[in-house]
Amino acid sequence: MDIKVTSTGNIWRRIDDGVGLMLIDALPSVFERAKAPAPAPPPTHPVFCLSAGAQGRAGISCTYPSGESRLLIHADGFALPTREAAADYFGNTVWDGTEGKHVKKPLPVPDAIWKQFLLLYGGKG
């Protein structure tokens, strides 16, 4: 339970329910139940970050507004992916009404994330 000190507006978070109810009941002019904070709005664009994949290998993770997540991992013994290949992997196939067909729309990895990924594997940006 969260309680609010009415005189200062300070909020005490995760107070034991019994203690919080006792304080509110005994000192109603001093304490009141705090309203729950509003949830964070869902992202409206893809969010990239570095994350660990299988066996602790670092990779680039992308979480889409739909909640879907993709992870690109560099596996030992394989060449590093190019930035273009990563953009193709994270991109989507979309309908192009002007051409009347599905086309691949790449999603570029942000510079800072790409540079960190390359640093992990000794690559050159």
pLDDT tens sequence across 81-98:
888 989 999 998 878 788
Do 75 and 105 belong to one domain? yes
Cα 28 to Cα 6, 32, 99, 114: the distances in Å are 9, 6, 68, 55
**What's the pLDDT score for residue 16?**
95
Number of domains making up the chain: 2
In-domain check, residue 41: no
Q: What is the mean pLDDT of residues 29-33?
A: 95
In-domain check, residue 38: no
Do 80 and 103 belong to one domain? yes
**What's the pLDDT score for residue 82?**
87
- For the chain, give the number of residues: 125
Average pLDDT along the chain: 86
pLDDT tens sequence across 45-77:
999 999 876 676 778 999 999 888 998 887 766
Query: Which domain, by its residues, includes 116?
Result: 47-120
